[in-house]
Homo-oligomer: A and B are copies of this chain.
């Protein structure tokens, strides 16, 4: 069945707004691969077609939007995406619980596990065992049938999340839906809708029904809207009903700041930047107002029961994360982390999947300690960090200050990275900022996969570098994270089509091309058996004259078009 709830129907964008970005990424085409052990199930691939006849298949997060094949389903935002998961097999409950964690612990392999194993190119048993250990999660609410399941865990490729969402001051539903499609197009593995302004429910409905990637939220934001923005007026009942409303819609994971305890609040009083997490600040205000532990903490088991019935995953929020280099790794941050560890044990005992959120702002020499402690205190639950920013001094470039920290913390074992855009600390990201943030974080995640020697990671680097060395410009663009911008930059200095096959580039011009001299050197060395130190040390002086005649004059008059 296709959920179009009244709210969404009534808030339907006008016809001219019902369009989002579609079509394949330049140089690639959409393909689907069979899922072993699950007849009829297929995983999406981005196939890069190379000019030498070869191709490289890449992990694809973009959903049906990049499929331009004749038999592809039409894109209709009002109807929403197809809902393949309705046809998937759902096993009987394991000891009364129907979550990926419960099934994995019971030794049951689900279609979701088979799907992600095929996507990652790993054995499904690795997926099952990591989920069973709680070292990986598959965020897939049973009410989000449009989702293409994915896995978050240190044994798998590092994932990235993109945040979108309107606020009281900006943005519309149409913009947010396009941002979701756009983020997924460039590689976002999950999406968080952090809307705090008007139409929170409607915006989320539009996003969920059209999102091929898991969607996360922070329910306290909507709960606070319901009480007119006064944190002291929040109650467990208002919060509970909000969580149920969002689980019913199909949210796949929720951030819960249940680790902000009353006694931790004073630990932030002497900080340079106090409490910078919105959820953390809201709960701190509530705790002080009522001088009680927060209802998120006191009702945590009840919350577990709600999430379990939809297989929604906890993302235990770090409400006391550092907001500056000065506050990194302090008492408040690590006190909360210890509490998140206790909550992890409780959630898993209820059969609920859990990941743990991390900082924030951390100097490079204090990054690894965050991962070590999280693994020690939280049973190696997947770590999900925001950056961290490695310095505070570059507002407008915080996608870069944080990409440095993100790559390092991912190398150390973080499973998912929440992106930061150039607008961080300054404004809300627009469409271009979303793309910049996603591409920047794909770089950080991939750099970490290389450093972890992930089986598939280096294939793409090698394919691109080979294309670069052989002057296959179109292949170099197609294999890159952003073919459009790579080509545009090349066009700026050498626009003409012939330049796309020329054996030089604008950096050095035809006479200075080291790649080209190097190719000639290699050809000469191989032609003359000079491919070993011994051979060359044998000293074949007679070769040199011959090389001068036909080899060393490598600068044939190739002039830039």
Contacts and interface: CB of A to CB of B under 8 A. Distances in A.
Interface of A: 167-170, 196-197, 221, 224, 229-232, 262-263, 265-270, 272-278, 280-282, 284-285, 288-291, 323-326, 361, 363-365, 390-397, 399-401, 403-404, 407-408, 411, 422-423, 425-428, 430, 439-440, 442-444, 446-448, 450-453, 458, 460-462, 464-466, 468-469, 476-477, 479-482, 485-486, 488-490, 492-494, 505-515, 517-522, 524-526, 530-533, 535-537, 539-541, 543-544, 547-548, 551-555, 560
19 contacts: A167-B506, A168-B511, A170-B493, A224-B512, A262-B537, A263-B536, A268-B518, A274-B521, A285-B517, A289-B548, A390-B447, A391-B461, A392-B464, A393-B464, A395-B480, A396-B489, A425-B468, A425-B505, A427-B493
A221 B512 contact: yes
B197 A324 contact: no
B515 A276 contact: yes
B393 A544 contact: no
B552 A285 contact: yes
B288 A551 contact: yes
Given A274-B518, A461-B393, A265 B446 contact: no
Nearest to A445: B391
A232 B391 contact: no
A336 B331 CA distance: 48
B325 A274 contact: no
Nearest to A532: B266
Contact of A451 (B224, B364, B507): B364
A449 to B, nearest CB: 9
Contact of A461 (B229, B325, B479, B513): B325
Contact of A448 (B170, B221, B364): B364
A364 B560 contact: no
Contact of A394 (B270, B427, B443): B443
Contacts of A231: 517, 552
Given A274-B515, A363-B450, 16 more contacts: A168-B560, A229-B512, A265-B521, A269-B531, A281-B517, A291-B539, A291-B540, A291-B543, A391-B461, A393-B479, A395-B480, A422-B489, A425-B468, A426-B505, A427-B506, A428-B506
A507 to B, nearest CB: 6
Contacts of A532: 266
Nearest to A406: B404
A468 B273 contact: yes
Contacts of A289: 544, 547-548, 551-552
Contact of A446 (B393, B422, B541): B393
Contact of A272 (B288, B469, B480): B469
Nearest to A280: B514
9 tightest A-B CB contacts, nearest first = A168-B509, A274-B518, A324-B465, A281-B514, A281-B517, A427-B493, A364-B451, A390-B447, A275-B518
B270 A531 contact: yes
Nearest to A277: B514
B506 A266 contact: no
Nearest to A553: B230
A265 to B, nearest CB: 7
Contacts of A544: 288-291
Contacts of A535: 266
A507 B404 contact: no
A152 to B, nearest CB: 21
A425 B524 CA distance: 25
- Report which residue of A430, A481, A518 has the largest number of chain B beta carbons within 10 angstroms of its beta carbon: A518
Contact of A393 (B448, B460, B531): B460
Given A278-B514, A426-B486, A536-B265, A443 B404 contact: yes
Contacts of A458: 325-326
- Report which residue of A231, A274, A444, A560 has the largest number of chain B beta carbons within 10 angstroms of its beta carbon: A274
A482 B462 CA distance: 35
Contacts of A280: 514
A505 B289 CA distance: 24
A448 B393 CA distance: 13
Contacts of A407: 364, 390, 404
A265 B265 CA distance: 63
Contacts of A442: 394
A524 B554 CA distance: 75
Given A390-B450, A391-B450, A512 B278 contact: yes
B169 A494 contact: yes
A482 B274 contact: no
A197 B506 CA distance: 11
A70 B9 CA distance: 66
Nearest to A275: B518
B403 A400 contact: yes
